[in-house]
Amino acid sequence: MATDNSFARLMKSYGRLTIFLIPIGIAVNFVGGQIALLLKLPLYLDSIGTILVGATCGALPGALVGLLSNAINSITSPPTFAFAILNVLFGLLAGLLGRYGVFKSWWKTLLSAIPFAFIGGFGGALITIWVLGGAAVGGTGLVVGSLVAAGMPVNTANFVAQLPIDLVDKVPTVLIVFAIISGIPRRLMVKLPLGYVYLSPSGGGPGTGATGASRVR
Amino acid sequence: MSADQDRGGAAIRAEDFIDGFRRPATQGNRVRDMNPISVFLVLGSLAVIAVAVPGIVAPSTVCVVLVLISLAGGVGRPFIGNFSRLFVAIGLLLFVLRSAFAGGTPVLFTIGAITVSMEGVLEGLRFALVVMAISGTVTLYFALIPIKYSMLALELKGVTPRATYVLLAAFQAITDLGKNARVIMDAQKARGIETEGNFVQRVRAFVPVLAPVFLSAIAATEEKAIALDARAFNSRVNHSHLVTLRPTPAWEVVFVAIAILCAVVACAGAVVPWY
C-alpha cells in the first residue's frame, strides 16, 4: 500500500501533531529571517524553527525541518543548499538537548548556544572552503573579504569570521526558542513527542512548578 | 439580460468548471504540461552536463538553453528577471571572490594582499557559471511547474501523502505566517513594543512578534487535523485526487531519454577524457 511506507511509519511513531509542526517549523525559519530584516537586526535568526521542532518533537523531525528549510530556500538562493547539513545537525542536536531537558532552564539554554554556534561557525567555514572555495557570500563574505584584504589566509579568515558571527546569532536564537517553549500551553505540550520532558515535575522548566504554571497559559 | 439567460450562463460556467476536473490538468503550454518528473530529469541532466564538462562553454551553453526553455515554456519574463538577479547577487560575487583567492599565473594585477591571475579569472568564471547553471535549473523548475503538480506526480509514483502534505503545507505556511508576522508586528507596535532603538531592544522585540505567530499556528493545527480526518487523510487506502496529470506521451519519454543519455556521456567524458 502506497501510504504504508517507512516515512509514514516514522511519522506515525512521532504522533500526528508532528506532521503539522514540521511545516510550521519550516515557516518559522523563514519568518524569523524576515522579522530579523524588518527589525534591522544584523543576525540570521533562520534556525529558530529547526531548534524549536527538534526541542519539542525530537531529533528527526527537527533534522527534517532543517533539511526542507534549506531545500526550499535554495529555490531562490541555490548555494544555501550546500549548508543544509548544518541545519540538519541543529535539528539533531536540539532533539538530543531537548530530551535531556536543556530547554527547561534559561541558563542551560544559554549554554546550548555554544555547541550550536560551533556547528554553525566551524561547519559553515568548512563548507564555505570545500564547496565555495572560501568565497563566503552575504555579510560574512564582507568580513572574510576584509580579513583577507588585511593579509589573513582565506581559510583562517573564514573560521575567524564565522565562529563569532554564529555565536552572536545563536544566543538570541536559543533564548527565543526558550521563550516560545515557555509559552506553549500545557494542553498542547502534552501532545508533543517531547512534551513529557517539559511537563515532568523535576526542574523548573515550562509547565512545571509554580514558575512554570505562571508561564503556561 | 433576462433572469433565465443569467441562470443559463451560470449553469454553463458551472458545467465548464466541473468538466475541468474530468480532463487532465493543463497549463496551456506544451513544456509546462510535461510530467513534473520528466521536467526534473531534463533539467537535472542539464545541470549534470554543466558540472561534468570542463571549461566555460558547457555551463554557458546550459545557461542559454535554460533561457530558451523558459521562453518556450512561456515563463521567460519572470525567469530571466530572477536569473539575472541571481547572476548579479551571487554569480558576480562568486566570480570576484573566487578570482581573487584562486592564485595561479600569469599575474594580471595586485591590490594589497590580493593577486589576480588569468588562471584565477578563468577558474572563477567557470565556478560562477557552474553555480549559475545549477541555480538556473532549480529556479526554472519552480517557474515551470506549480508545486502542487510536483507533489501530485510524486504521490502517483508512490510517495506517501504525508510527505507531500508536509512540503505543500510548508509553502502555504511560509505565506500565511509571513502575513501573520506583519500583522502582529503592527499590533505590537501599536501596543507600545519598541521595534526600533538599540540592538538589545530590537532583539527583545523579536519574542512578542514571533511567539504569537508560532503559538497561533500550533493552535490552528488541531483544526487542520480535524479537517484532514474528515477527508479520510489518515485512511490506509490509496487516496483519490481531484486533479489528474495527462498521460506521458512517447515523444516526452524519448526526449527525457536523450537528455539522460547526454548527461551520462558528459559524466563518462569527465572520467575518461575525450576532449
pLDDT tens readout for residues A171-187: 989 999 999 999 888 88
The pLDDT > 70 percentage for chain A reads: 82
CB nearest B173 (choices: A24, A32, A179): A24
Phi, psi of A58 (to 5 degrees): 125, 170
**DSSP symbols for B258-269:** HHHHHHHHHHHH
Per-residue confidence (pLDDT) for residue A214, from 0 to 100: 34
Name the average pLDDT for chain A: 81
Q: How far is CA A213 from CA A190, A194, A202, B20, B193, in A?
A: 14, 18, 13, 54, 25
Does A74 reside within a domain? yes
Confidence of residue A207 (pLDDT cuts 50, 70, 90): very low
Are B202 and A11 within 8 A, CB to CB?
Answer: no
Q: Is the pLDDT of residue B211 over 70?
A: yes
Domain that holds residue A197: 2-201
Does A146 reside within a domain? yes
Does A114 reside within a domain? yes
CB B199 within 8 A of CB A46: no
Per-residue confidence (pLDDT) for residue B272, from 0 to 100: 74
Question: Which of B:168-187 have CB within 8 Å of A?
Answer: 169-174, 176-178, 181-182, 185
Higher-confidence residue of A19 and A213: namely A19
CB nearest A2 (choices: B158, B173, B221): B158
Are A188 and B142 within 8 A, CB to CB?
Answer: no
Decide if A126 touches B, using CB distance below 8 A.
no
Query: For the segment A46-82, what is each residue's pLDDT rounded down to a tens digit?
Result: 899 999 999 999 999 999 999 999 998 887 777 788 8
Cell numbers placing B134 = 545549477
Q: How far is CA B151 from CA A156, A186, B142, in A?
A: 43, 35, 12
The reported pTM is 0.80
Does A208 reside within a domain? no
CB B67 within 8 A of CB B82: no
Determine the length of chain A.
Answer: 217
Does A172 reside within a domain? yes
Are B160 and A141 within 8 A, CB to CB?
Answer: no
Query: For the segment B8-64, what is each residue's pLDDT rounded down to a tens digit?
Result: 777 777 877 777 777 888 888 889 999 999 999 999 999 999 999 988 999 999 999
Confidence of residue B70 (pLDDT cuts 50, 70, 90): very high
Say how far apart CA B66 and CA B88 lie, in whole Å: 17
CB nearest A11 (choices: B98, B162, B238): B162
Decide if A110 touches B, using CB distance below 8 A.
no
What is the number of domains present in chain A? 1
Q: Which of B116, B99, B134 is nearest to A135 (CA)?
A: B99
Query: For the segment A137-160, what is each residue's pLDDT rounded down to a tens digit?
Result: 666 777 777 777 777 777 788 888
Q: How far is CA B143 from CA B26, B75, B100, B140, B236, in A?
A: 15, 7, 34, 5, 34
CATH at residue A67: 1.10.1760
Set of chain B residues whose Cβ sits within 8 Å of the Cβ of A82: none
Does A18 reside within a domain? yes
Per-residue confidence (pLDDT) for residue A1, from 0 to 100: 42
Q: Which of A1, A25, A56 is nearest to B234 (CA)?
A: A1
Say how far apart CA A61 and CA A97 lie, in whole Å: 14
Phi, psi of B108 (to 5 degrees): -90, -50
Tell me the range of A26-30, A200-204, B185-189, B227-231 where mean pLDDT is highest: A26-30
Q: Which of A145, A176, A144 is nearest to A161 (CA)?
A: A144
Query: For the segment A78-111, what is each residue's pLDDT rounded down to a tens digit?
Result: 778 888 999 999 999 999 999 999 999 999 999 9
Per-residue confidence (pLDDT) for residue B17, from 0 to 100: 78
Higher-confidence residue of B173 and B204: namely B173
Per-residue confidence (pLDDT) for residue A216, from 0 to 100: 32
Q: Is the pLDDT of residue A212 over 70?
A: no
Cell numbers placing A52 = 524549536
Query: For the segment B115-153, what is each residue's pLDDT rounded down to a tens digit?
Result: 777 888 888 899 889 989 998 999 999 999 999 899 999
Identify the residue among A5, A31, A129, A155 best suited for mutation to test binding to B, counting B beta carbons within 10 A and taking the highest.
Answer: A31
